[in-house]
Amino acid sequence: MHDQAPLYAATVRPAVDRVYSSMRRASMPHVRDLVERAGRSPGFGVSFYFGLLARPMDAAGFAAATTYTGADMTTELEQGIAWCDPDGAWHLTDTGRDLVAQFQQLLAATAQEHWAQTTLPTMPGLAALPRLAELLAILLEAGRASGGPAFRTLTPVYEPADATDALRVCTRLGALRHHRADAHRAAWAAAGLTVEQLRALDPADPLRRQIEDDTNHRDAPIYQALTPAQRLEFLGLLAALP
């Protein structure tokens, strides 16, 4: 499987993104309600809740994770949900921790509802979650050896003692995506590009294909923690969710 690992990384990526992004879209009305009730926004906790509830985001990890979105923390500071220490690490305040914990629970409840909406009797839906959570745990542990700065600062993930399977899966999927994000940043940096130059690349430029291929090679080691049968199982379980 070693030679096939980059191909698997390329194949599984859209499946992971589909499941996670569709669940996040389903949560948006509930997140707006939370913001209205709280009178403040979870801010960067919306993107990094799975790691932030466990530890501060160190400076290198924060810079990497915000490469594409920007690192303006004005709102978080003004609303009193985060603070930055002298080393550049970002911490949640007590208020911020409470709000982000509420967000994680809300996201888990949304995921539970969203993933229960199966349209065919052959789709296991929620029955897929316990095993999917197990396989994700294997991947996140393996990624500690191969992940970049964002993945390392965001894992191990935070899960409360009473975590549901839906919470475990949405939390672990959120963190897993940063292994590939780190791989992608490393690939275009190795090609000598800035993020602005990357964005300006024509989709047909051979350099873009080279960067994607390099990304797949850098992302592949995490999936070598699964057996060939488990890799197929992981894809199948992702496909079982709406």
Which residues, in sequence order, are CB contacts of 102 under 8 Å at separation 6+? 34, 38, 42
Angle at 44 between CA 152 and CA 86, to 5 degrees: 65
Which residues, in sequence order, are CB contacts of 169 under 8 Å at separation 6+? 111, 129, 132, 133, 136
| pLDDT score for 1 | 43
Q: How confident is the model at residue 176 (pLDDT cuts 50, 70, 90)?
A: very high
The Cα–Cα gap between 172 and 45 comes to 15
For the cut 70, the answer to whether the pLDDT of residue 2 exceeds it is no
Question: What value does the mean pLDDT take over residues 125-147?
Answer: 96
The Cα–Cα gap between 66 and 211 comes to 19
The share of the chain scoring above pLDDT 90, in percent, equals 92
For the cut 60, the answer to whether the pLDDT of residue 115 exceeds it is yes
Q: What is the pLDDT of residues 79-100, one digit of tens each?
A: 999 999 999 999 999 999 999 9
